[in-house]
Amino acid sequence: MISDRDKSGIGMTSARTRERLIRRLKEEGIGNEAVLNRIREVPRHLFVDEALSSRAYEDTALPIGHGQTISQPYVVARMTEAAIASGRPGKVLEIGTGCGYQTAVLAGFSGTVYSVERIAPLLKRARDRLRQLGIHNVRFRHGDGWEGWRANAPYDVILVTAAPPETPKALLQQLADGGRLVIPVGPRTHQELLEITRRGDDYEERVLGHVIFVPLLPGVD
């Protein structure tokens, strides 16, 4: 539940500004109205530094510190569309909490989101922000995203917001049968957004498009 106070405002937080973003996403091919409504509802300006608030509703990635970025709204919407293509998932694993914006969008469509972040200050900030917004179906862990979160597996959906050079085996293993992994894979110069569906011991792969994400690094900070 996101309060009306956080959904409204003036200037960069105005309804008109948000509607411009929604129109752009529609023009770029986002057709799921529930996803568009969630993008409209989640106050992106609260997830970026105040100095960048005036750019919060541009369709662009923005820095959030620690060498990380808040994802471009189109990419957030596209990944969310893929994540919920088969309906509302009960358990979602998110690798790379970052500022918590993608987490907040996902939480509107999930039973529980389990979110892993390797950078402790980002994790704390995201946890505090989602609590302030009244989003309570997210569980956080400071850990190595390459390892996933085995204790709560299997997951109906796993969504990764940083790019490994190849798909981590641990994430494939933690995917439920029939579950879907949405992940960017490749070097910074050439990454593909993949949708990988588990069918028993087999995995069906589909390319959703070309993207640019920060690398998925091992370990914790």
Q: Which residues contact 145 (CB under 8 A, 6 or more apart)?
A: 95, 96, 116, 117, 118, 160, 162, 168, 216
What three-state secondary structure class fits 49?
A: coil
Active site residue 71: yes
Considering only CA atoms, which of 201, 156, 202 is closest in space to residue 182? 156
- 8 Å CB contact between 83 and 106: yes
- 8 Å CB contact between 109 and 34: yes
Q: In the beta sheet, which residues pair with residue 93?
A: 114, 158
Dist CA 189 CA 185 (whole Å) = 11
Q: In what order do the strands lie in the sheet with 155-160?
A: 138-142, 112-117, 91-95, 155-160, 175-185, 191-199, 202-211
CA torsion through residues 85, 24, 212, 139, sign: negative
Selecting among 3, 8, 53, 71, the annotated active-site residue is: 71
**Paired tokens of 94:** 């998110």
Query: Which residues have a catalytic role annotated?
Result: 71
